[in-house]
Every structure is written in C-alpha cells, then in structure tokens.
A and B are shown apart, each in its own frame.
Chain A
Amino acid sequence: MTTLSELAIGRTGIVENIDLPNEIQHHLMHMGFVPEARVVVVRRAPAGDPTVFGIDGFEIALRRDTARYIRVRELNEK
C-alpha cells in the first residue's frame, strides 16, 4: 500500500481510503475518489506540484500535501 503522492507519472492506483477532514473527504469522494476507483497519474504542473490525476475520464489537480492522505494500491500493469 502506498499513497497517491508517491505514484510515478503514468502509473495507476486503486483508491483504498482517504484520511482527510470529513468535509474535504466527502468533496473528494463526490469528485470520484471513492474506494475501488482507478486513478491515473497524468502529469505534474510545471513547478512539479500540484499533480493532475485522471479519474473516470476527468482530470483533477491536487497538491502533494492532499494526495499523500489518499491511500492507494498500485496496479502492476504495463
């Protein structure tokens, strides 16, 4: 198990759980970050942070200090 902030660009993770204050957590879940959702690391902003994640065909940018509270299991697919 790892966190979303540690996945490299192009890798996919399956969301396990989110450990953020309730309000933020709910907001993220309604945006698609629910357990068992597939998240792809799409690209990083020019400054290296925030990172753009692909989920359900949407692109959502999160800062590293938010992404590190989203636990994922990395998919070992090529």
Chain B
Amino acid sequence: MSDCCGTETIEIRAEPRVPGKIRTVALVGPPNSGKSTLFNRLTGLRQKVANYPGVTVEQHVGKLAGIGRSDLILIDLPGIYSLDSYSEDARVAVDVLHGQMPGTPAPDAVLLVLDSLHLRRQLMLAAPVLSLGLPTLVLLNMSDLMEARGGEVDTLALAQELGVPVAKISASRGTGLDAITHFLNRKAEPVAAVSTRIELPVMGNARSYRQWATGISTRTKYKAPLSSEWTQRLDRLLLHRIAGPLIFLAVVFAVFQVVFTIGQPLSDGFGAILNRAGDLIGLLIGHNWVESLLIDGVWRGVASVLVFLPQILLLFLFIGVLEDSGYLARAALIADRMMRSIGLNGKAFIPLLSAYACAVPAIMATRTIENKRDRFATILVTPFMTCSARLPIYMLMIAAFIPNKPVIGDLLGLRALVMVSLYLLGFLAALGTARLLKSSILKASSAPFILELPQYRMPTLRSLGLRLYDRGRVFTKQAGTVILCVMIGLWFLSHVPFHSTLPESVIGRVGQWIEPVIRPLGFNWKIGIGLLTSVVAREVIVGTLGTLYGADPATQSLGLQAALRHDLTLGGAMALVVFFAFAMQCTSTLAIVRRETNSWKWPALQFTYMGILAYLAALATNQIILHFIH
C-alpha cells in the first residue's frame, strides 16, 4: 500500500549498457520472499514509487544508499512465480529484465531473492532468471529462521550448481548484506561464460523446472526447516469455523474504536496547537488585510484539514500491521464466500478494507486480482468505502448537530451510531454496485481464486515507520499545495469586488446561482461552494466552510460548529454527510482509476453514477427528516 508521491527525484539515465560496469540492479523474487523488506533495507528513504507506463504495475526504484552505494539504482520488480505471462506483473518483470520497458534502463545485474524456508519451490524461479545471462547474486532470505528451525543448505554447492554466487541473508535483521556490496564491487563478469557452465531445464515448462529444482535441492543437501508451529496454531484459531469470523469482526471493530477514541483527543490537541500558532502569527502581523488573508483565509483552512493527520496515520498504522503480519490474506479467505455472493472474489476484500484509509493505494492493490472484469468491478466500487478524507466533514457535522446521548448504555452513543451508519451506508453501496456491475456490464464467468497464505510475521517497526512517513508526507503535501491554493483562491474570490459583503462577492454570486439546484437537499449557497471546491478532495469542504463562515461578519465571531448550527437544519446537515458518503469527490482517485483502467470512460462513469446516487440519497435524507422528524 504505497502511493505515487515520492518527492525524492531519482534520475534514471537511459545510457547504453557498458560491459563490466554496473549501474542498475534489478531485485527479483517470488511473492512473500521478503523482497520488499530487503528493498526498504537497501534503499532506506531514498526510494520512489511510480507506475510503469501504460500498465498498472507499480515501479519501485531507489538508490542503494542502505549499503553506501548511492551511485547505483535498484529496481524492485513485482513478486512473480515464473517468467510466464499469466499476470501483468510477470509481463512487466520480463520486459524490465530484457531492457524492453520504456523509461527503465536495462539492468546490469540481478539480485534474486529466494525464501530459504521453501527453497525447493522457490528455486523454480532461478531457472528462467539465470537463463537471462545477467550477472546474478542469489540471496537466501530468512536464513536465520531456516537455521533456527533446523533447516540447512550447502551454499557453496548451490553456488556451483547455479554457476552464480549465493549468500545467506536476513532482510528483516539486515544480516549478510555485505555479500551484496562485495558482489557489486566486483566487476561484472562476462556473461556468456556463465550460462554455458550450468545446465538449465527446458524453458517455460513448469514440470522440468520442478525436476531441476528438486535435483539441485537434493544435491545441495537442502533440508527444509520444520514448518512454523505458530502459523499452524494461529490459523487453527483465526480460521476456526466460529471463532474465525468473530475475531475478524472484532478486529475491524477494534480498529475503528481505537482510531476514534485515541485519535480524536490527539487530533483535538494537534488542532489546538495549530490554532494557537495561527493566533500568534496573527499578532505579529497586526490587524490588516494580510492578516485576514494569511490567518482567516489560509491558515484556518489548511489547519482545519491538517488536524486529521493523527487519525489518518493511526488508521494506516493498523492496516499496515494487518497487512504485514499476514492476517489480511486470512481475512480474504474468510470473506471469499461473502464476496462471491456479490460476484467478486475474496482478494477484492483486501483493497476494500484498505480503502477505509484511502482509495488511491486500495485501487493500486486491486492488481492482485487476476481477472480483469473482477478487477474493474472492484476498482469501481472501492471509492464507496468510507475513506479517511470523509472523516473531517463527518466529524464536523456530527459534533455540530448530533447530541451526545447514550443509545445502549455506555457502549454506544448516538454520535457513534450515526458514524457507524455512515460507514455501513458506504459499504452497502459498494456491495450493491458490485452486484449491479457483475450482473450487467462486467458480467463474466467466475475466475479462480488462488491465494497463497504467507506465514505470520511480526511487522517490523522499520516498514511500518516507512509507510507512515510516506502517508504523512503525502497528506501534508496535499494540505500544503492543493488545499492551500484552493484556500487562497477562495479568499480572493470572497473579497472581490473589494469592499463588497460576502453575498455580493464573486463567490457569493456563484453560490446563489447554484442554490436552486441544491435547495431541495437542505443546503445553502455556502455549502454549495463547499461542494464545488471539494470536487478536488473531500476534506477541502471543511476548510472552505471555515473560510466562508470566517469571512461572513454575521458568523465571524462564532466557531465553525456554532455557525453551521445557526445556518443549517438537521435535515440539511444529515443530507450533507449522506451526500459525502456517496459522491466521488477526489481528483486523485479519478486520476488513479484512469491510470489503472487505461481509459477515461471508467472514471467518467464512476463520477456520474456516484454523483447522481449522492444527489438522490441526500434529497431523500433531507425530505425524510423534514417530514417525519420535525
């Protein structure tokens, strides 16, 4: 789950390959071989994530700073089982290795990572990779675990069998990495000499790969370690017929509970600090139009979005722990039956769950779904899941309009109930839409569900920290650029022509012009402007409302919550959050959908469908509250 937004510029020069000189190194390995951990270890923070042109596969590139070779570029290829082109991932890997991927230099050397706990099968990938004839170093990862569990292998014999150097490493502990330094410091050997020395199996035939791999394992005295007792024991419990689903529900519930109970005070505290800082800067500037622009216009707007950083990071932390520990694969297994009933596959569950944090990485995660129609259906419904960008407006409206009354004793309050209902609403919309899509435009015969269950692992602080750093950077960057620009623009438009009152300003006129359309939803023109600006990103509406109510003399002295209560009915407020539950207000998501589906048709369809649904649902909400509750 990473994003497309590294700030580090890593220059990839497309220079011709010079024999004997290494510039670009490719990291190759099967899924779950610990390849990403090694990549993070070798590159540290100096990495960049992007997509390969024209395809939906992520490209991870970094400088080998972790072993003091910042002059070398490491390309992390997607995890693959073979160089067969069953998946898009494998096709990309083959193209990169052959130097046929536009924009990516041909690698001069290969680091092949194999999980030493399952060497017999993992060696099957060595055959096609070695046949490429590039200088290769084979890394037997997790060798510390293998030896601790009684496994062994003769690395010298293995190196002779494969005709390339072999080293035992542990990516998670960072041991054995000096072998990589030695390998890279040595001049790359002339390639042709290598491939003649060893016998490789018939290409493209899984059966002969397998025989070859088994033969080598036997000759190198490979002894597989005992399987992890822990994984077996945990699975007995976590996949238990009754306990499994219950624990699963408890985990999901606990995540939200913690995000709200711990995250809320953190966010409040952070908000107070930001406001105080704003006041202090205001004092320094003095009371004039600069202060009005900087503090009322910009600082308040940006700060009202920035306060949600602690909660968003907490949510990402949890999803990171679930993913890194191996539990998400089990969740997919538990959810497969339910997902099948709506025409999707258990693997679709992982992106849907991570979409609770953000739809952008979730949509990228759909690439593990091999069937294209299943994948498109998942991409189209993912933005219905309640992402963290909806939290700001949900929390604001709920705090302003819903009294803090208990519903079931201390267990569930009215505010929490409304929040849970909104989450449920998005989830049901996703299921309903998936069903609709799979029985109409994306109808297909059911694709097989093939899922490897990795062993449980303790998530490392390093990889979790890297995730949070990444997300935090993306979020603050968004607040500092996109949202900042919107706020400055908004402030000007709400003060032009000069010396006009807010309703007479440009923004006031635009708002009043669109008001008739949104009046039946219980929205006023300020909300209308909020809807327009939040097409950029959902959280922008909170900043916009802050700026607009701050610029209006009638509400200037009130806090945002009080101003809203003063200006909106309960029906309008609830209609607004329902609107946000359904509408597609996120340019980043639209862009990623366009990239992943390679067509504007799908994001356009998604935007229109979600917009119409949002309008109708908000209309119904307002009318129902208007007629039945008041």
A interface residues (Cβ-Cβ under 8 A, vs B): 20, 23-24, 26-32, 34-35, 37, 43, 45-50, 52, 55-63, 65-66
Contacts and interface: CB of A to CB of B under 8 A. Distances in A.
B337 interface: yes
Given A31-B450, A46-B241, A46-B242, A63 B336 contact: yes
B206 interface: yes
B337 A47 contact: yes
Interface in B67-105: 81-82, 84, 86-87
A59 B244 contact: no
Interface string B345-372: 0100000000000000000000000100
- Taking residues whose C-beta sits less than 8 angstroms from the other chain, chain B's interface range is 35 or more
B5 interface: no
A30 B124 contact: yes
B257 interface: no
Q: Closest 10 A-B residue pairs measured CB to CB? A: A29-B206, A47-B337, A30-B81, A30-B82, A59-B453, A46-B244, A56-B121, A66-B448, A27-B86, A61-B451
B422 interface: no
Contact of A62 (B334, B446, B449): B449
A24 B245 CA distance: 29
A24 to B, nearest CB: 6
A52 B452 contact: no
A62 B448 contact: yes
Q: Which of B81, B124, B206, B235 has the most CB of A within 10 A?
A: B206
Interface of B: 81-82, 84, 86-87, 117-118, 120-121, 124, 206-207, 209-210, 224, 227, 235-236, 239-242, 244-245, 333-334, 336-338, 346, 370, 446, 448-453
A55 to B, nearest CB: 8
A59 B209 CA distance: 20
B224 A66 contact: no
Contacts of B82: 26, 30
B453 A46 contact: no
B333 A58 contact: no
Contacts of A28: 450
Q: Which of A26, A30, A31, A43 has the most CB of B within 10 A?
A: A30
Contacts of A60: 450-453
Contacts of A31: 81, 121, 450, 452
A52 B227 contact: no
B86 A23 contact: yes
B86 A26 contact: yes
19 contacts: A24-B450, A27-B81, A27-B370, A27-B450, A30-B81, A31-B452, A43-B236, A46-B242, A47-B337, A48-B337, A50-B333, A52-B333, A52-B453, A56-B120, A60-B452, A61-B453, A62-B449, A62-B450, A66-B449
Contacts of A37: 210
A24 B87 CA distance: 10
Contacts of A47: 334, 336-338
B334 A27 contact: no
A45 B452 CA distance: 13
A65 B336 contact: no
Contact of B118 (A20, A49, A57): A57
Contact of A57 (B81, B227, B239, B370): B227
A30 to B, nearest CB: 4
Contacts of B117: 57
A51 B73 CA distance: 42
B240 A26 contact: no
A32 to B, nearest CB: 5
B453 A65 contact: no
A66 to B, nearest CB: 4
B213 to A, nearest CB: 10
A26 B206 contact: yes
B303 to A, nearest CB: 46
Contacts of A27: 81, 84, 86-87, 370, 450
A43 B87 CA distance: 27
Contacts of B86: 23-24, 26-27, 30
A48 B124 CA distance: 32
A49 to B, nearest CB: 6
Given A45-B336, A46-B334, A63 B84 contact: no
A78 to B, nearest CB: 19
A45 B333 contact: yes
B214 to A, nearest CB: 10
B239 A45 contact: yes
B81 A50 contact: no
